[in-house]
Amino acid sequence: MSAPPDLPDVVSRAFDVSRKAGYVSFCRNETGRLLAMLAATRGGTMAEFGTGCGVGTAWLRSGVRGDRARILTAELDPKLAGAAQEIFHDDPQVEVLAADWSTLLDKGPFSLLFLDSGQPNEVGVDEVADLVEEGGLVVLDDFTPCEVWPPITGGRVDTLRERWLTDERFTTVEVMVASDASTLIATKR
């Protein structure tokens, strides 16, 4: 057995900032590695709704190839946004906005959109379909794996997951990133 691969430097810095801020609501490393891999397939502008303290942004940044792709990320809580800005203050490829995610509505189309504002019902497929370029990706985090159809969460039909998995504008798959966690990845058709 060998140790898992080290965290990228930018992700370690984001964890340090999170720790200082006492903030723990960040994406898990399994999702982070998936974000990095997906970001490595992208050019253009990527976006994140809900920066938190910048851990997910850092994972995306760790995957970016070259010096042209950009990441825009919006965080409603100005204190958290300020903390995340610290991580990327000297990085021209990342912009952290202290703002509601709707600020990003006129900044697309995006090559990748990570929806992680923690209020999933607010950001449905209709709200973002036109924000994503053709062939662009949408990533949604924090699902519990479910083998039945329609998907059930907390005893109710998970209509958000059901809509993403059936919307004809996207080809969407649910991917387990751990035995207790899954992510939706959607490609705009």
Ligand X SMILES: C[S@@+](CC[C@H](N)C(=O)[O-])C[C@H]1O[C@@H](n2cnc3c(N)ncnc32)[C@H](O)[C@@H]1O
Residues 34-73 that bind ligand X (CB under 6 A): 48-52, 55-56
Helix then strand count (H, E) for the chain reads 6, 9
- Residue 48, Cβ density class (10 Å: 0-12 exposed, 13-18 middle, ≥19 buried): buried
Q: Rank residues 116 and 158 by Cβ distance to ligand X and give the closer one.
A: 116
Q: Rank residues 115 and 132 by Cβ distance to ligand X and give the closer one.
A: 115
Q: Rank residues 121 and 179 by Cβ distance to ligand X and give the closer one.
A: 121
Residue 48 and residue 56 in contact, taking contact as beta carbons nearer than 8 Å: yes
Q: Rank residues 58 and 147 by Cβ distance to ligand X and give the closer one.
A: 58
Among 80, 94, 140, 185, binds ligand X (CB under 6 A): 80
Among 45, 62, 85, 117, binds ligand X (CB under 6 A): 117
127 binds ligand X (CB under 6 A): no
Among 36, 39, 74, 125, binds ligand X (CB under 6 A): 74
- Residue 106, Cβ density class (10 Å: 0-12 exposed, 13-18 middle, ≥19 buried): exposed
Among 17, 47, 69, 101, binds ligand X (CB under 6 A): 101
The least distance separating ligand X from the CB of residue 80, rounded to whole angstroms, comes to 5
In three-state form (DSSP H/G/I as H, E/B as E, the rest C), the secondary structure along 68-113 is: CCEEEEEECCHHHHHHHHHHCCCCCCEEEEECCHHHHHHCCCEEEE
3-state secondary structure of 143: strand
Q: How many residues bind ligand X (CB under 6 A)?
A: 21
Q: Rank residues 80 and 184 by Cβ distance to ligand X and give the closer one.
A: 80
Q: Rank residues 111 and 117 by Cβ distance to ligand X and give the closer one.
A: 117
Among 29, 44, 77, 174, binds ligand X (CB under 6 A): 77
Q: Which amino acid is at 114?
A: F
The CA-atom distances, in angstroms, between 92 and each of 70, 71, 173, 174 are 8, 9, 32, 33
> Which residues contact ligand X by CB under 6 A?
25-27, 48-52, 55-56, 74-77, 80, 100-101, 116-119
